[in-house]
Chain A
Amino acid sequence: MKDLPTALKLQAHLDGELAPDEAREVVSLLQRDAEAHALFDELKGTRRVLAANEPEIKLPESREFYWSKIRRELERLEREPQVRPQRVWGIARWLRLALPACAVLVFAVVMLHRPAFAPGPGSPLFAVGDEIETPLEELNSFTFRSESARMTVVWVSDSFVN
């Protein structure tokens, strides 16, 4: 059996697709190579058989009418509204409404009752560092506590009061 490039050249020559120079080379090959000649004959026979037996399907209508029917069907499908599956009001559907509503409700209650949630002495939100503040730079202050007198004193180095 001939190699594939040679076989393809033979097929191309049979189909009349080769340039004149290549066609001359193939003719020369066929004259001196019996195997190549046998393959060429086989290809030619196959082509003849196919050409003689290719089924011909005849449309019952004209070509234009046949394709126009296909076009009309495609256009009808494009115009048709998309049919969505009907949704069932199951638990999941209710939850989708109820969860956001609950979130809004909780937020509203928290905001309305905000003082009740304000950080207190026992709360981790209560910032000990905010207990005392002396904003004026020229002032110093310190705090001390007397448990016996039950008093907390913040002493400020200023004499503005009187």
Chain B
Amino acid sequence: MSLNHRHPFFLHGLLALLAFGLTGLPSAFAAKDDLHVQAQLVWGTDGDKPPDPDVKRLDEATRKKLGSVFKWKNYFEVDRQNFKVTLSTKKRVRLSPKCEVEVENLGESQVEVKLFGEGKMVVKKRQVLKAGELLILAGDDKNQNAWFVIITPSSR
């Protein structure tokens, strides 16, 4: 006697489980692993605020964090981008005419961040991105100033 005759619903149940496994689980994983990211381009200087009206003072919490580590007195936000990166995808955003950043969601809060300067990849970094954590890609700028690209997880 075959399995079908012995257990009429056995095969149908098995097929339903398989269908769930093949279709339901991936979307469940994907929803859990979506990342909301904020990318900021910040200028650090000992001088005054630049005349560009789009440049604004950095929020106090981030300014204090930077001030506890770096030497510059003032930090100004040049641009800010908030975006979502779904699991196993990457998102590239432009923060200035010369600066772009690409964030890839590797899952489990793991990201791979690539910084592009004038179209060329300058640096690539993998990092676990958790709430309250900052990943900063930075470098010296002319006239004793500095630039910072700050990657943080953002609220939705």
- Which A residues contact B (CB, under 8 angstroms)? 105, 108-109, 112-116, 118, 120-122, 130-136, 139, 141, 143, 146, 148-162
Contacts and interface: CB of A to CB of B under 8 A. Distances in A.
A58 to B, nearest CB: 64
Nearest to A131: B126
B110 to A, nearest CB: 6
Interface string B114-156: 0101101111111110001111111111100001010000000
A136 B140 contact: no
Interface in B52-80: 65-66, 68-69, 78
B43 A162 contact: yes
B99 interface: yes
Interface in B73-107: 78, 87-88, 95-96, 98-99, 106-107
Contacts of A160: 98-99, 117-118, 122
Interface string B1-33: 000000000000000001001100110011001
Interface size class of B (residues with CB under 8 A): 35 or more
Q: Of B18, B99, B138, which is in contact with the most chain A CB atoms at under 10 Å from its CB?
A: B138
B41 interface: yes
A122 B107 CA distance: 12
B68 A154 contact: no
B122 A136 contact: yes
Contacts of B66: 149
B46 interface: no
B136 A150 contact: no
Interface of B is mostly: strand
B139 A132 contact: no
B29 A155 contact: no
The list of the 8 closest CB pairs from A to B, nearest first, reads A160-B117, A151-B134, A161-B147, A156-B139, A120-B108, A133-B124, A161-B99, A153-B136
Nearest to B133: A150
B75 to A, nearest CB: 13
B108 A131 contact: no
Contacts of B127: 131, 152
Given A120-B106, A152-B136, 14 more contacts: A113-B25, A115-B29, A118-B107, A132-B123, A133-B124, A152-B125, A153-B69, A154-B123, A154-B135, A154-B136, A156-B115, A156-B137, A160-B117, A161-B99
Contacts of A134: 122-124
B145 to A, nearest CB: 8
A146 B69 contact: yes
17 contacts: A113-B25, A113-B26, A113-B29, A116-B26, A133-B124, A134-B122, A134-B124, A143-B125, A151-B65, A152-B127, A153-B69, A154-B138, A156-B139, A157-B139, A161-B98, A161-B99, A161-B139
